[in-house]
Chain A
Amino acid sequence: MEKFTRLQHTAIPLEIENVDTDQIIPARFLKATDRKGFGDNLFRDWRYDNNNNPISDFILNDPTYTGLILIAGNNFGCGSSREHAAWALTDYGFKVVISSFFADIFKGNALNNGLLPVQVKEEQLQTIFRAMKENPKCEFIIDLEQQFVEIPSIGFHIDFEINSYKKTCLINGYDDIDYLINNKNKIKEFERKRNA
């Protein structure tokens, strides 16, 4: 897994609540057998019309906003367990998603792919959206080690919470699977006791 420690970059605001994984990557694009290329179809039906022309008022097609950070409305990533949603976001280039609430499975999938979900309070999210309206190119600093988000241009600074185990994984690029494989003896012992 790609490591994440600190990022200084601009962001893209997606001011919609309850963005479900069917919007992030519609089911008809889940037919691949590898993890690559899903970024092309990220937010497909919001991004392109029926004739595959870009829909100009969708935020990813608006040249005003660019960046590696996605700022999204409450309850981002609800719906299906498809990890393709996380793959689509990382393949497109996003490194961080900031929202006031994340759906459970999406959050886990993001963390397993080096995509940092940062949960902030609803009023903080609204402050961020306002800051971006005033200055679309405002820079963010996301520091995982110190667990804070900053927008230096407006003096905005907030701390965020993250599970300490997951933080260690992200900073070092560790996968859960390696940890589990290293614990195989414990797992086999558990099986043996249960079957005894």
Chain B
Amino acid sequence: MGKTLFDKVWDSHVVDQLEDGPDILYIDKHLIHEVTSPQAFAVLKDKNIPVLRPKQIVATADHNVPTLNQHLPIKDELSRNQVARLRKNCDEHNIELYGLGHHYQGIVHVIGPELGITQPGMTMVCGDSHTSTHGAFGSIAFGIGTSQVAQVFASQCLLLSKPKSMRITVNGKLKKGVHPKDVILYIIAQLGTDSGTGYFVEYAGEVFENMSMEGRMTVCNMSIEMGARGGMIAPDQTTFDYIKGREFAPSEEELEDKIKHWQSLPSDTDAVYDKEYSFDADDIGPMITYGTNPGMGIGVQEQIPSSQNESFQKSLAYMGFDQGDTLKGLPINYVFIGSCTNSRIEDFRVASDFIKGKKKAKNVNALIVPGSQQVAKQIQDEGLGTIFEEAGFEIRQPGCSACLAMNDDKIPAGEYCVSTSNRNFEGRQGPGARTILASPLTAVAAAIEGKIIDITQS
């Protein structure tokens, strides 16, 4: 029986197997940030053990950082302390830190790929569930808890049982105005928020084959929103072209051999999956969410479904919606374009293309938060910054920002925010805030119109 992409990468990283127990899985790259690492460094201190492989770790400050005046000391004492602690820990353990003020700083899942750190066939972890993003390159990448961060520090390994495999195939051609974000929101809406638990997903078919790396990252990013630890896409020429020439990519001499190896990674044709789903690109339109988990998504034109389930009712009550409502035309006051899901240059190109020569609606606060310092620079270099500013959008400095509202970027209670982020949980963007997840295109269109519109109808 043939092997899947996932099998090939997993099997080549198994150090040892415990009888009736988990595997010892070797981890190639470990990304860390300020929020989920301090308690892991404390474990090392308690046990008086060193970091085994500091050169395989890359750190950045992203979750907690302000998106204004990053050159000044952070005002919030706890945030300042956490960011300072990261610097101290990295200094003590010889770990490379792209902290505030560094030209590589940014959201951990944006900088890994853009620096060429993320490569096919790797195992990667980070104390953040959206580590699944890196699977876009055909790597096994997943989020871990802080105890596991400490385990990787100490041993460069984790004890894990091999998850089951799932393949999601989407064939056909996406309609104009339908973006990778719509594809993943559609999949999660079809399968549900717990459908992937215990599985690692492979996305296959023409839609993903024809997708850019940025789009593939958006899709893999949200694998965790259906419960899957990670998602992967087979590496191909698009992947190799993206990696080539990046800061930490293999050198030109090494690249040829690497590519040969990477070309051996895609699933064998006779590989068997524990679960398979298949969708048609034609059925996918612009998507939005109406509830408080990412599985509660509908097409912009569609009505909110009905259910007697109490948790469903609670969710609609929080959002201020009723069963049967259509969200098209819903007035909104906040738009957030950013997060590890949609803050790469391609997202801002799509956004600026649409708004060029237009102005945002007067009532709307529209926030643009680039995923990294490099993306921020690119926005200016390509002249997108001027377009955003002329349209009345506010461009901030890189960080996780209003995706999880750990810093000052919060949506006020009761307000709707059309957001390109990944979670519409209660209070995620600030206590009482109501999040509507959408693609960058649907989000900017809402900013211009001051209400939700169907982009394919305009």
Contacts and interface: CB of A to CB of B under 8 A. Distances in A.
Interface of A: 15-18, 20, 22-23, 26-28, 30-35, 45, 50, 73-75, 78-84, 86, 101-105, 108-109, 112-113, 163-165, 175-177, 179-181, 183-184, 186-187, 190-191, 194
B406 interface: yes
Contacts of B159: 165, 176, 179-180
B234 to A, nearest CB: 22
Contacts of B81: 31, 33
Interface in B36-51: 36, 38-39, 42-43, 47, 49
Contacts of B22: 163, 165
Contacts of B309: 17
Interface residues on B, range: 35 or more
B147 A175 contact: yes
Given A23-B425, A50-B413, A165-B21, A184 B193 contact: no
A80 B146 CA distance: 12
A85 B97 CA distance: 27
Interface string B7-48: 000000001101011101010000000011011001100010
B155 A184 contact: yes
B87 interface: no
B212 interface: no
Contacts of B158: 176, 180
Nearest to B86: A33
B426 A45 contact: yes
A108 B144 CA distance: 9
B333 interface: no
Interface in B283-328: 293, 309-311, 314
30 contacts: A22-B427, A22-B428, A23-B426, A30-B63, A31-B81, A31-B406, A32-B82, A33-B85, A50-B431, A75-B193, A79-B224, A79-B423, A81-B131, A81-B145, A83-B36, A101-B194, A108-B144, A163-B22, A163-B161, A165-B21, A176-B159, A177-B47, A180-B155, A180-B158, A181-B49, A181-B155, A184-B52, A186-B15, A187-B15, A187-B52
Nearest to B229: A104
A89 to B, nearest CB: 13
A154 B29 CA distance: 52
A79 to B, nearest CB: 6
B150 interface: yes
Contacts of A20: 293, 423, 425
B82 A31 contact: yes
A18 B311 contact: yes
A74 B295 CA distance: 14
A80 B154 contact: no
A189 B423 CA distance: 41
Contact of B425 (A22, A102, A105, A177): A22
A73 to B, nearest CB: 6
Shortest beta-carbon contacts, A-B, top 6: A165-B21, A31-B78, A81-B143, A180-B155, A83-B145, A33-B38
A16 to B, nearest CB: 5
A78 B155 contact: no
Contact of A75 (B129, B145, B194, B428): B194
A189 to B, nearest CB: 8
Given A50-B413, A163-B21, A164-B20, A177 B426 contact: no
A82 B15 contact: no
B227 A104 contact: yes
A81 B144 CA distance: 6
B157 interface: yes
A41 B158 CA distance: 30
B118 interface: no
Contact of A18 (B20, B26, B85, B293): B293
Nearest to B311: A17
Most buried by B among A22, A31, A84, A184: A31
Contacts, number: 183
Given A80-B129, A108-B148, A175-B147, 14 more contacts: A18-B193, A23-B427, A30-B63, A33-B38, A34-B38, A34-B39, A83-B39, A105-B129, A105-B224, A180-B154, A181-B154, A186-B15, A187-B157, A190-B26
B127 to A, nearest CB: 6
Contacts of B146: 83-84, 109
B455 interface: no
B378 interface: no
Contacts of B425: 20, 22-23, 79
A161 to B, nearest CB: 13
Interface string B135-153: 0000000011111101100
B267 interface: no
Contacts of B439: none
B194 A108 contact: no
A20 B156 CA distance: 29
Contacts of B36: 81-83
B404 interface: yes
A165 B314 CA distance: 38
Contact of B197 (A23, A27, A103, A181): A103
Given A79-B423, A112-B148, A179-B159, A31 B18 contact: no
A105 B229 contact: yes
A23 B314 CA distance: 14
B128 interface: yes
A69 B35 CA distance: 28
A112 B147 contact: yes
A81 B39 contact: no
Nearest to B413: A50
A105 B225 CA distance: 12
A186 B229 CA distance: 26
B20 A177 contact: no
B433 to A, nearest CB: 11
